[in-house]
Structure 1
C-alpha cells in the first residue's frame, strides 16, 4: 500500500536511499560516514523515511539459478470472463510466481516466475489454462537488474 510522502525528498534522503538500495546491511555508522552525518542523525533520517512509508522494508536478492531454479519466465494472463478474482488468487498461491501485477491492456496480469525446467514450466502454465489465456516468455538475460526508480528532485535542489 502506498503512502503519501509528508515532505519532499532532499539530496541527503536520496543519497541514503541510494546507498541502502545498494546494500541494506550498511551499519548506521557506515551510512553516516558516506553521507557526512553523525550516526544518530543518519538513523533519524532513515527512521523518518521508514515512518513516512518511503522505505517499506529491507530484503535480500536471491540468485534463483544458484538454488536450482534456472528458468525465469514472464507470464501474461488474460482471465476468462468472470475469472479475474480466481486468477488473482491462483497467482497469489502459486509458489513459483515471485511477483504479479495487474496491468492495463489486453492482458490483466503480468507475472514473473522461476522454475527448474521446461516440464515444470508446462505444469505451471497448465494450472492457469482453465481460467485464463496465457502467453509466456522465457527470460534469456536481464540487462537491467531491479533497481531503485529515479527519484524526483526537490524543488530546492
Structure 2
C-alpha cells in the first residue's frame, strides 16, 4: 500500500525535507547548494512546505539528562471517566510531560516524562494518580531518538539516528 500525503511531494521536496531533518539550521544558500536550487528557490520551496503544514516547526533538541532530568519514563494511563487528564487538566500542571498521546485500547494515554530522580517520579505518579490507573515503565537506555522520514521511494525507508553502542543488524 503506497503512502499518501495531502500534498504531493516531488524529489526536490524530499531532498529538502531530508536535509532539514538532519540540520534545520542550514542557510537557504547551503540548503539550495545541497539540493540543486538557488537560495531564493530553496527559500520559496521551504515556505510552501511550511504553508502546507508539512514542516511544522523548528527547534533545538535538548539532552534532558544534561539539564538535570536523567530519568525517562513512559506511563500508560487509564483515566477515570470523570477525571480524564485530557479534559480536566492542562500542560502547566504537568511540566515534566514531554509528549502525550491519545491511545486506542485498554489505556487512554501514553505519556513520555522526564524527571530528576526516583523521588520526583514518586511525587509525579502521586499527582497523576488522581486521573486514574497507570502503568509506569522506566527507560534504561535509548537506542535511537529520531528517524528521518524518507518515503520518496515506494516502501518505507527510515534512517534512525544511531546512538553510540547500538549495533545495526
Q: TM-score, normalised by structure 2?
A: 0.81
Match of 2:151 in 1: 151
- The CA deviation string for residues 49-108 of structure 1, in whole angstroms up to 9 with x for no partner, is 011111111111000011111001111100012222xx1243623000011011101100
Match of 1:68 in 2: 68
Match of 1:90 in 2: 89
Name the SS of the counterpart of 2:21 in structure 1.
Answer: helix
- The equivalences for 1:1-157 within 5 A come to 5=6, 7-84=7-84, 87-88=85-86, 89-90=88-89, 92-93=91-92, 94-151=94-151, 153=153
Name the SS of the counterpart of 1:114 in structure 2.
Answer: strand
Q: For 2:153 and 2:15, locate their aligned partners in 1 and report how far apart those are by CA, in whole Å.
A: 12
Q: TM-score, normalised by structure 1?
A: 0.87
- The CA deviation string for residues 90-129 of structure 1, in whole angstroms up to 9 with x for no partner, is 3623000011011101100001010111000000000111
Q: For 2:90 and 2:122, locate their aligned partners in 1 and report how far apart those are by CA, in whole Å.
A: 15
Q: Alignment RMSD, CA only?
A: 1.7
Q: For 1:56 and 1:72, locate their aligned partners in 2 and report how far apart those are by CA, in whole Å.
A: 25
**Greater CA drift, 139-148 or 29-38:** 139-148
- The CA deviation string for residues 12-39 of structure 1, in whole angstroms up to 9 with x for no partner, is 1111111111111000011011111111
Q: For 2:54 and 2:106, locate their aligned partners in 1 and report how far apart those are by CA, in whole Å.
A: 32
Q: For 1:127 and 1:31, locate their aligned partners in 2 and report how far apart those are by CA, in whole Å.
A: 46
**4+ long deviations beyond 4 Å:** none
Listed as ranges, the gaps of 5+ residues in structure 1 are: none
Structure in which a larger fraction of residues adopt strand: 2
Q: For 1:150 and 1:92, locate their aligned partners in 2 and report how far apart those are by CA, in whole Å.
A: 32
- Report which structure shows greater RCO (CA 8 Å, sep ≥6): 1
Conserved 8 A contact 1:9-1:153: no
Please report how far the alpha carbon of residue 142 of structure 1 lies from its aligned counterpart in structure 2 after TM superposition.
1.7
